A and B are shown apart, each in its own frame.
Chain A
Amino acid sequence: MIPLEWMAPLMFSGLIAFMLIGYPVAFSLAAIGLFFGFISIELGFFEPVFMSNLPLRVFGILSNELLLAIPFFTFMGAVLERCGLAEDLLEGTGQLFGSVPGGLAYAVIVVGAILGAITGTVAASVIAMGVISLPIMMRYGYDMKTATGVIAASGTITQLIPPSLVLVVLADQIGRSVGDMYAGAFGPSIVQTLLFALYIFVLSLFRPQWVPPLPIEARTLRGWPLIRRVLWGMVPSVVLIFLVLGTIFLGLATPTEAGAMGAVGAVVLAVLRDAAFSRFGKWCAGIGFAALIILLVPAFALWKDEWFSPGLVQSAQAFVDQVRGELLGVFYVGLVVILLEAARITRLRGLIRQGFESTMRITAMVIFILIGSTVFSLVFQGVDGGKWIEGLLSGLPGGQTGFLIFVALFVFFLAFFLDFFEIAFIIVPLLAPVAQKLGIDLVWFGVLLCVMLQTSFMHPPFGFALFYLRGIAPREVKSRDIYLGALPWVGLQIIMAAIVVFWPALVTGFISKAETQDPSTVEIILEAPDNSQSPPAEGEDKKDEGQGNAASAADDPTAEIERQLKSGR
C-alpha cells in the first residue's frame, strides 16, 4: 500500500526516468499519467469519475482558439524562411553598416531581430545568417569565435521577440492573453538586442582587430542601389511585422487572426519577390495596394484626429464612409489575384506545400505533447502534486526574487536536456501556481522563463543554435570555436535574465501602456458605414481573446467537478 504523500514524488521521478529512455514524449507522458491514474483509483485516492474529465480536457485543447495561432505562425515562418528575404536583408544591411568596425556583426544582430519578428524559428535565422554572413566575416578577417557567436546568439533572439511561438505556448499555460505576453516581451527583446550590439561596440573599442570594417573594395553597393536593396528587404518586413504585431497591440485582431493574416501576408510577400510574378498580377497587385493606401491616408487622419483641423477630419470621415467598401473590395481582389499567382507559379506552389506539410507535423507533435501533459498533470494534481511542489518551493529564501532566481537556474539546467515544449507544458503548470501565490506577475514570470529557455539554444555542447551552425559552417570553422564563441553570449543572456528579475517594470511597464492605448479611437477607422453593425467587431474581439487566454474557462465545469470529487474523497 502506497501512502498518498508518496504518489506525487513517485510520479515525478517516473516521468524523468521514462522521458530519458527516449520514446516520444507525448506518449510517455500520457502513459505515466494513466498508469498512476489507475493505481490511484485502485488505492482509492480518487473516484473513477475523476478520470472521465480527460476527454473533456482534450476537447478543451482542440477547441482552444488561441492554440490555432501555432499552425498559423509556423506556416508564416515556413514560407518566409524559404523565399530569400533573409538574404536580401543581410546583404543590404551588411553593406550599409560595413564601413564601421563591427558593422557586419551589427547587421547580423539587426537582421536577427527582424527575422525573429517575422519567422520565429531559430533554425531558419541561424542557417540563413550562417550561410550568408559567416563566409563574408571570415573572408574579411573577423575573429572566428566572435563571428560564430554573434550569428548563433542573434538567431536565438527570435525566441523572445514577439510573435514567437514560445510566448503563445507560455501565454496559454499561464492563462494570460497573448497580447499581454507579447507586450511584456517587447521591452526585454529590445534591451537584449541593444545589449548584443553594445557588446560588439565594446569589442570594437578594445579588440578592433576581431571585428574589422569591410574594406572599401568590398562595399560594392552604394548610393541609390544600396538604399533600394535595403528598402526592398526592410519595407515588406516592417509591413508584415505591423500586420501581425501592430494589429494585436492595437486590439484590432486576435492573435489567431493576426497569425492567419501574417501567413497570407507571407505568401503575398513570396509572390511579390518571385521572378515569375506575371505582368497582369503586378498590375492587379499595384491597383489593390493603391486602393488600400487611398483608404489608409484619411483613416490615419481619423485616428490621430487631434493633429488635424476639424474640417479636414470631417471630410476624411465622409470620404471613408462613402468609398470604404469599394476600396477594400479592390484591395481584396488584388490579394486574391496574388494568391492565385502563388498557386500558378510552380516554384511557389512547391514552397507553400512544403510549408504547410511541415506545419501540420509540427502542430500535431506540439498538441500531442500538450495532450500527454494534460493527462499527466490531471492525475498529478489529483494526487496532490501541486501541494508537494509548493511545499518544496515555499521554503526558498528571498521571497519573490529568491523564487525567480531558483526558477531561472532550474530551467537553465533542465534546458540541457529538455526542449521548450516539454518545459512549457510540464514544468510551467507546476511552477505557475507557486509564482502566483508569491504575488509574482505571471507575464513577468513567463518572460523570464522565455529568456532562460533562450539560453538553452546557446549553451555548449547541446545548444541547438550551435548545432545548426555546425551543420552549415565551412569546414575550416572548428567546433571548438563555435562552442567557445558561444560562451560570452550565454553570459549576456544570463545578464539579461538578471535584468528581467531585478527590473520587472521592463516587462510590466509595456503591458499597462498597451492596455491604455486607444481602443475607442481606433474603432473609428473600422466603423462600418452603418453604425449599427460595428460594435460587435470590438466586442467579439475581446470575447475571442478571453476565450483563448483563460484556457481553463472551457473546462471550468470540469474543474468544479474535480473539486467536488476531491473534497468528497
Chain B
Amino acid sequence: MDVLLAFSRLIDAINERLGRLANWMVLAACLLSAGNAFSRYGYSLSSNAWLEIQWYLFAGMVMLGSAWTLNRNEHVRVDIIYGRLSTRGQVWVDIAGGLLFLLPAMLVMSWTSWTIFHESWRINEMSQSAGGLIRWPVKLLLPLGFGLVALQGLSEVIKRVAYLRGLINLDLHYEKPLQ
C-alpha cells in the first residue's frame, strides 16, 4: 500500500504542476485574444498563427487541467442521492465509478486518440490556413490529457482505498461548482 500511496502522491504532484500551467493558459489565451482583436481592428494586423494559438491554449487548459480538476473534486455530479450518502458510501461510489467508469473510458479515449496524433505526426500535418501552425502538438494533447485523467483517477481510487483502511485522512468535501 505504501508503494501505491507514493505512486498516487507522484501523480498528484505531476498533475498539480500541469494544473498550474493550465491556469496560466487561461490568462495567456485571454490576453492573446484581446490583443489580437485590438491589433486587428486598430491596425488590420492579424495572422492565422495568432488565432490558432488561442485554441491551442484552450485545448491545453482543458486537457492538462482536467486531471487537476478531478483531484480538486470539481467535476460536477448529480448529487441528489450522493449528497445523502454517508462518507463511506460516497467513497465506495467513487471507487466503483473510478474503476468501472473513469479508468476504462479514459484509457479507451486515450488509446483511440493516439491514432490521430500519430497520423498527424507521420505526415507532419500543417494547418490548412495560410501561416497556420503545425498540428501534432495539439493533437498530442488528446491522448496525453485522457491518459493523465486516467492516472489521476487511479490515484483517487488508491487514496480512497487507503482512506477506508484508515491509512490516510482525505478531504472528501464535494460542492457543486458555482454557476
Q: Which residues of A contact B (CB under 8 A)?
A: 18-28, 30-31, 34, 51-52, 54-56, 58-59, 62-65, 67-68, 71-72, 75, 121-124, 252-253, 256-257, 259-261, 263-264, 325, 328-329, 332, 335, 339, 352-353, 356-365, 367-369, 371-372, 375, 417-422, 457, 462, 464, 526, 528, 533-534, 536-537, 540, 544
Contact = CB atoms under 8 A, between A and B. Distances in A.
Given A31-B100, A31-B104, A63 B59 contact: yes
B87 interface: no
Is chain B's interface secondary structure helix, strand, loop, or mixed overall? Answer: helix
Given A22-B93, A75-B30, A363-B62, A325 B43 contact: yes
Contacts of A358: 178
B179 A361 contact: no
Given A256-B33, A368-B66, A71 B116 contact: no
25 contacts: A23-B96, A24-B70, A26-B76, A28-B97, A31-B104, A34-B104, A59-B142, A63-B59, A65-B55, A67-B58, A71-B58, A75-B30, A123-B178, A261-B38, A332-B38, A339-B31, A353-B23, A363-B61, A367-B62, A375-B105, A417-B80, A418-B78, A422-B78, A537-B40, A540-B46
Interface string B57-91: 01101110110111010111111111101000010
B109 A54 contact: yes
A359 to B, nearest CB: 5
Contact of B105 (A30, A52, A339): A30
Given A68-B58, A123-B179, A528 B44 contact: yes
Nearest to A120: B179
| Closest CB pairs A-B (n = 9) | A22-B82, A23-B97, A260-B33, A24-B75, A55-B113, A31-B101, A62-B59, A257-B37, A123-B178
Contacts, number: 238
Contacts of A464: 176, 179
B169 to A, nearest CB: 22
Given A22-B93, A260-B33, A75 B76 contact: no
Nearest to B37: A257
Contacts of B80: 20, 22, 417, 462
B65 A360 contact: yes
B77 A534 contact: no
Interface residues of B, number: 74
B139 interface: yes
Contact of A22 (B27, B40, B85, B108): B85
A25 B77 CA distance: 5
Given A21-B97, A55-B115, 14 more contacts: A20-B81, A22-B78, A31-B105, A59-B113, A62-B62, A62-B63, A68-B58, A72-B29, A261-B38, A360-B61, A360-B69, A364-B68, A367-B62, A540-B40
A67 B33 CA distance: 13
Nearest to A54: B112
B97 A364 contact: no
B43 A21 contact: no
B138 interface: yes
Q: Which of A19, A363, A544 has the most CB of B within 10 A?
A: A363
Contacts of A335: 38
Contacts of A22: 77-83, 85, 90, 93
A252 to B, nearest CB: 7
